[in-house]
Structure 1
Amino acid sequence: MSTSIKSRRGVIALSLLLAGGTIALPAQSALASGAGAIPAQFAMDGGSSYGATLEILGYARLVEASYQRSYEDAKKMRGVINEFLDKPTEENLARARKAWIDARPAYLVTEAFRFYEGPIDFADEETGEEGPEAHINAWPLNEAYIDYVKGDADAGIIHDTSIPINDKTILGHDQTEDEADVTTGWHAIEFLLWGQDFNDDGPGARPASDYTPGDKFNDRRRLYLKTVTQMLVKDLSWLAMSWNMDNPNAYATDFLKLPQKEALGRILTGMATLSGFEMASERMAVALDSGDQEDEHSCFSDNTNNDFIYDQKGIANIWFGEMGDKEFAGIQDLVARVDPDLEKKVTAQIEKTTKAIAAMPHPIDQVLASPKGSDGRVKMEQAVTDLVEQGKMLVEVGKALGVKIVVATE
């Protein structure tokens, strides 16, 4: 299903209990590693008794670095896919698939930056113009809308020669009548690289010969893959620029001008919604209930375990203030000052949830096909329980900070 907030679930309600108060600007020597100087546009009204300057700035720098990394990794993937198209061998197809898997984590950790009307979901918050998320990671995907499927060799846009293959027409046909009629993004590229998955013990096995030039439909497929990959890179470039704090016209500038409690409300809303609703309900519980392997998030590549691992990593990155070897002031630091006992509980729950997700068997489609009470299902159900509890605790953090968060429920 498309994960566009506006089309699927409406604008998430976010109520902020704003209080007065000011904060003192911390000395430069007190800035956390990786924080750098405080930008001139940073909101100095405080709006809280505890002061969150470093943590909000740390978050903004984390988002900026994360989107930049995702953009860079997608460019690397684009290069390998282009090499495959130049020489469509099985070996180069395997390299292209690996490049997709290698590029995916850097985007997944950014999903914790969603659900609060930032640029990923709203290109223009005032007008309600939607952001690129639905074109980046929409799911599930109706394979027959793009290309041939089992039982229909002539299916999809690729076989409809009345539709020219370019970015305008691909985008113009995206989710026009059904939200599963996805034409763009990570999962469209995934399907084009792997094809449908009919293997009990592995991913899809599309042949490299599907991309041998000279055949009318192969040539359309080649152009489609090249075009949709470039579209993804372009969208990620736009997101990276939107969070570039050196650009006075970027969203990052507006974010840093927000009252501190509003900024914290947005941060925590993204974390809690990804944990307690998007991951726990939409991506795990629904699939467990249906038992349908097609409900697996990355069903063509069998990469769904990594989807969950790195989505959770994105939440942890914000809490702990980290991204690889980079460190930022994390929300954990702020909560430790306000309510040390709550900080310990949330930290323990994040670590528990991370372990529960890592313990789920691979691949997820085999878990979905297993009977109720199986070891795999029990472990995945435990991960759902922990994600829901983690989301609830993040709402408790909002209460401790004087910020009320209403997480989506549908």
Structure 2
Amino acid sequence: MKRRILSLGFIAMAMTLANCSDNDDTNYVDPNASLFSDVIGNVSSNVVVETYKTLNQKAGELRTAINTLATTPNEVNLAAAKQAWVNTRKPWEQSEGFLYGPVADDALGNGGLDPAMDTWPVDVEAMNNILSSGQPITANVIAANPEARGFHLIEFLLWGENGTKTAAQLTARELQYLKAAAEDLQNNTQTLINGWSASSGNYVGFFLTAGNSGNVKYPSQKAALEEFVHGIITIADEVANTKIQEPLNGPNGEGVSPQAEESRFSKNSLLDFADNIRSVQNVYLGDYGSIDGKGLTDVVAARNPQLDTAIKAKIAESISAIEAIPVSFTDAIYNNRPAVENAQQKVNELFSMLQTQLLPLINN
């Protein structure tokens, strides 16, 4: 560990501060406080909350599409339901850079809303037990079976094990299950947006009042900024070292493991990965959709413009490398391994940069 050498100017400034007003620093105002407030307010209100609003809207559209499919099970309606699933998956994957707050709340007793919506792998046995039980399949029945609900259960029923399921192959019980699972998913997205909204659970309020007396979540603005950084570090690590690594080389390095691939039934994995890194990008830039606000980039650029430029470039490189993987991820882990390894390397470089350079800058 290196010992920090203080300059004479720094020591003189510190002594001056120490002698001020009976050593009372309670009136000290960080010169960056206004910028920090703008960043925290924009990211929490206009990136996080707006992403969850989109998610809830798309989940409603998915539920409608599945209800239509259940009423008239034909290929047109099956294709529409599949597209609605993909559309709903996008904002969910773009939210994985901020898996804190209500999404991680264990008040439901099942580990939080994240596993309720995105448990992987699907417990096919649990699903089959429900299908063969003879009881009506309702959202409450689905909610009581944590391993047989959410995005991937719906994906499995819509696409089938090999991704080739037809509308004619959907049984009446499976259609009933799909309706209940879609209702359960939207119930959870509604609970999630309610938890964040200022008019309901108001988790966003903890960010908007970061640093205020009595704020038990974020007693300082730095604590709120650190939450943002930890969130994007976590998802960059997960994409590189779980989502790509485990199918590519096996959970324990034993070789290609296609069963470890998430979203493999729909072949949506590459879109998932790219949207995960867009989640990093949205928080870092402070942008979402038509919103162009302040993000972590503004904090970093004020202190280390070179690092800010490097982070933005590495985010873009990571997304480009993922999107450059040809065909499906299922095929690429066998036949296009160099492209997959390149994407993994770029995301790992991003992860390292966020962890070893961005986080220390925010901490200090």
Which of 254, 270, 273 is residue 308 of structure 1 equivalent to? 273
Which of 87, 95, 101 is residue 118 of structure 1 equivalent to? 101
In structure 2, do the counterparts of structure 1 residues 47 and 313 end up closer, same or farther at CA, with 3 Å as the change threshold? farther
Aligned to 2:298: 333
Aligned to 1:32: none
The answer to whether the aligner puts 1:221 opposite 2:157 as a matched pair is no
Aligned to 2:90: 105
Aligned to 1:402: 363
**8 Å contact kept, 1:305–1:362:** no
The alignment's TM-score, normalised by the length of structure 1, stands at: 0.74
Bigger Rg over Cα: 2
Aligned to 2:223: 262
Q: How far apart in 1 are the matches of 2:64 and 2:141?
A: 23
Which secondary structure state, in structure 1, belongs to the residue aligned with residue 121 of structure 2?
coil
Which secondary structure state, in structure 2, belongs to the residue aligned with residue 141 of structure 1?
coil
**8 Å contact kept, 1:47–1:261:** no
Name the amino acid aligned to 2:301.
A
Which secondary structure state, in structure 2, belongs to the residue aligned with residue 401 of structure 1?
helix
Which of 138, 143, 149 is residue 119 of structure 2 equivalent to? 138
Q: How far apart in 1 are the matches of 2:304 and 2:186?
A: 41
Give 1:80 deviation, angstroms.
1.1
Q: How far apart in 1 are the matches of 2:54 and 2:280?
A: 17
The alignment's TM-score, normalised by the length of structure 2, stands at: 0.83
**8 Å contact kept, 1:304–1:364:** yes
Alignment of 1:280-299 (within 5 A): 280-290=240-250, 291-299=256-264
The answer to whether the aligner puts 1:57 opposite 2:52 as a matched pair is no
Give 1:270 deviation, angstroms.
0.6
**8 Å contact kept, 1:293–1:366:** no
1:56-107 per-position Cα deviation (integer Å, ceiling 9, x unaligned):
1111111010100111011111111111111011221111111111221111
Give 1:164 deviation, angstroms.
4.6
Query: Please, which runs of 5 or more residues in structure 2 have no aligned partner?
Result: 1-25, 210-217, 251-255
Which secondary structure state, in structure 2, belongs to the residue aligned with residue 130 of structure 1?
coil
Give 1:112 deviation, angstroms.
0.7
1:179-215 per-position Cα deviation (integer Å, ceiling 9, x unaligned):
xxx2111111001111111xxxxxx12221244xxxx
Which of 60, 65, 79 is residue 64 of structure 2 equivalent to? 79
Give 1:48 deviation, angstroms.
5.1
State the superposition RMSD in angstroms.
Answer: 2.2
Which of 158, 180, 189 is residue 236 of structure 1 equivalent to? 189
In structure 2, do the counterparts of structure 1 residues 55 and 158 end up closer, same or farther at CA, with 3 Å as the change threshold? same
**8 Å contact kept, 2:281–2:315:** yes
1:336-375 per-position Cα deviation (integer Å, ceiling 9, x unaligned):
01211211111111111111111112200001233xxxxx
Which of 135, 151, 166 is residue 207 of structure 1 equivalent to? 166
Q: How far apart in 2 are the matches of 1:194 and 1:129?
A: 27
Q: Aligned pair count?
A: 321
**8 Å contact kept, 2:41–2:207:** no
In structure 2, do the counterparts of structure 1 residues 366 and 335 end up closer, same or farther at CA, with 3 Å as the change threshold? same
The answer to whether the aligner puts 1:159 opposite 2:119 as a matched pair is no
Give 1:172 deviation, angstroms.
2.2
Give 1:144 deviation, angstroms.
3.8
Give 1:393 deviation, angstroms.
1.4
Q: How far apart in 1 are the matches of 2:198 and 2:145?
A: 34
Higher relative contact order (CA 8 A, sep 6+): 1
Q: Following superposition, which runs of at least 4 residues in structure 1 exceed 4 angstroms of deviation?
A: 44-49
Give 1:146 deviation, angstroms.
1.7
Name the amino acid aligned to 1:172.
A
Give 1:324 deviation, angstroms.
1.7
1:130-172 per-position Cα deviation (integer Å, ceiling 9, x unaligned):
321001111122334324xxxxxxxx421233x5522333222
**8 Å contact kept, 1:84–1:92:** yes
Q: How far apart in 1 are the matches of 2:27 and 2:317?
A: 36
Which secondary structure state, in structure 1, belongs to the residue aligned with residue 327 of structure 2?
coil
Aligned to 1:169: 141
Aligned to 1:383: 343
**8 Å contact kept, 2:70–2:176:** no
Query: Please, which runs of 5 or more residues in structure 1 have no aligned partner?
Result: 1-43, 148-155, 175-181, 198-203, 212-217, 371-375, 404-410
